[in-house]
């Protein structure tokens, strides 16, 4: 099929706008901001080895993690893009201590949306030319339009998301998103600068044979996770499963959605609350997971039902093919205290 016969991202949004609960030109402009920023980030990533943007930036973010140069660049690009169209009243990012109130433009405070994001997930992999990504989550503000955005606009349960998605910068660049009516993937044609619908109605297989977890931390895992890993490795029925772990959430998630699998980032003895961030990593990926027929859990409860209390709140994370997540939840429930 010729790429020109495939709908572009913009055409697709217009075609499906009635599927979106809050159909308006604002949402189209918001997604347009994200796709424009992603193209700029993609350009920096593709030229990283020859433009002196590899390596550490020399400071740490609010998480206490060493920032990479491209973390800083990607963060600035997305914040600048989201500030230009008067459709976003606030942004929260992994790279900033607090949320950012958007005031540029005469109507900025009248904007209805807030965006939470991880501007460059897996950025430590850039130096070794491994796929990285951007994760975004979109909510409607709950405080009155025309007033300054507040923390409560960001501390919403995942069930309140109106859209979520990710961009994966890999062998090809893809933007995958949902508005609550299924998951669709768009591939960037760099020669034309447009995203084309390449993966309509993406779905997790009900079951799978891939488990993605950093087994180097095995001794620190809860007993239920240890038991599940042993289950995956046993030679019986359709096992052993295949272990595949890239260390970039977007890349591991994308593979598992296409091939069938489970991604696990549990609590550990060193990080009893987990390590991944609820609001801008787990919630958007959980929304995508459920819209693609999969399941997302903290090992005991649905991710999207967790009531957030902190902007950078962490949680254990299990997501992927429904049967695989249900099996690991069974091991978690049955593990000794």
275 annotated as a binding-site residue: yes
214 annotated as a binding-site residue: yes
With residue 15 as reference, give the H or E element that holds it.
helix 9-15
Structure tokens at 92: 């929260």
245 annotated as a binding-site residue: yes
70 annotated as a binding-site residue: no
127 annotated as a binding-site residue: no
Structure tokens at 279: 């609001």
* CB burial string 70-108: b at 16+ within 10 A, e below: bbbbbbebbbebbbebbbbbbbbbbbbeebbebeeeeeb
249 annotated as a binding-site residue: no
Q: Give the Cα separation of 116 and 98 in Å (integer).
A: 11
120 annotated as a binding-site residue: yes
Could you tell me if 168 and 254 are in contact, meaning their C-beta atoms sit under 8 angstroms apart?
yes
Could you tell me if 316 and 200 are in contact, meaning their C-beta atoms sit under 8 angstroms apart?
no
Q: Give the Cα separation of 145 and 222 in Å (integer).
A: 44
Burial class (CB in 10 A: 0-12, 13-18, 19+), 124: middle
Residues 6+ apart with CB under 8 A from 54: 48, 68, 69, 70, 126, 127
Q: Give the Cα separation of 162 and 169 in Å (integer).
A: 24
Could you tell me if 281 and 135 are in contact, meaning their C-beta atoms sit under 8 angstroms apart?
yes
Beta-carbon neighbour count of residue 54 at 10 Å? 15
Residue 37's nearest CA partner among 169, 151, 128 is 169
94 annotated as a binding-site residue: yes
281 annotated as a binding-site residue: yes
Specify the pairing of strand 261-265 against strand 210-212. parallel
Vertex 98 angle, CA 38 and 131, to 5°? 30
Could you tell me if 91 and 100 are in contact, meaning their C-beta atoms sit under 8 angstroms apart?
yes
Residues annotated within the binding site are 94, 118, 120-124, 214, 245, 275, 281
Residues annotated within the binding site for Mg(2+) are 94, 118, 120-121, 281
Residues annotated within the binding site for substrate are 121-124, 214, 245, 275
């Amino acid at each position: 099929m010729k790429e020109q016969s495939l709908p572009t991202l913009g055409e697709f949004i217009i075609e499906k706008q009635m599927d979106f609960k809050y159909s308006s030109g604002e949402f189209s402009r918001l997604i347009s901001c994200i796709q424009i920023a992603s193209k700029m980030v993609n350009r920096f990533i593709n030229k990283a080895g020859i433009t002196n943007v590899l390596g550490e930036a020399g400071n740490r973010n609010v998480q206490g993690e060493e920032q990479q140069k491209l973390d800083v660049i990607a963060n600035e690009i997305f914040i600048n893009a989201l500030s230009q169209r008067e459709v976003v009243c606030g942004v929260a990012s992994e790279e900033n201590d607090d949320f950012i109130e958007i005031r540029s433009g005469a109507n900025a405070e009248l904007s209805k949306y807030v965006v939470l994001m991880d501007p460059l997930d897996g950025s430590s992999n850039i130096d070794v030319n491994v796929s990285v990504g951007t994760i975004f989550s979109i909510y409607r503000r709950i405080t009155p339009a025309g007033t300054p955005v507040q923390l409560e606009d960001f501390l919403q349960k995942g069930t309140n998301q109106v859209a979520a998605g990710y961009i994966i910068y890999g062998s090809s660049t893809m933007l995958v998103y949902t508005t609550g009516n299924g998951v669709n993937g768009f591939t960037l044609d760099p020669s034309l600068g447009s995203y084309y619908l390449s993966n309509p109605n993406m779905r997790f297989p009900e079951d799978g044979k891939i488990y993605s977890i950093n087994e180097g931390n095995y001794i620190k895992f809860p007993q239920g996770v240890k038991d599940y890993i042993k289950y995956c490795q046993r030679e019986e029925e359709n096992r052993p499963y295949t272990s595949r772990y890239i260390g970039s959430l977007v890349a591991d998630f994308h593979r598992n959605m296409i091939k069938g699998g489970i991604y696990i980032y549990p609590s550990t003895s060193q990080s009893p609350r987990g390590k991944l961030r609820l609001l801008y990593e787990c919630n958007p990926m959980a929304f995508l997971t459920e819209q693609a027929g999969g399941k997302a859990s903290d090992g005991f409860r649905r991710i999207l039902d967790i009531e957030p209390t902190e902007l950078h709140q962490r949680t254990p994370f299990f997501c992927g093919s429904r049967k695989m997540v249900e099996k690991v939840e069974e091991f978690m429930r049955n593990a000794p205290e």
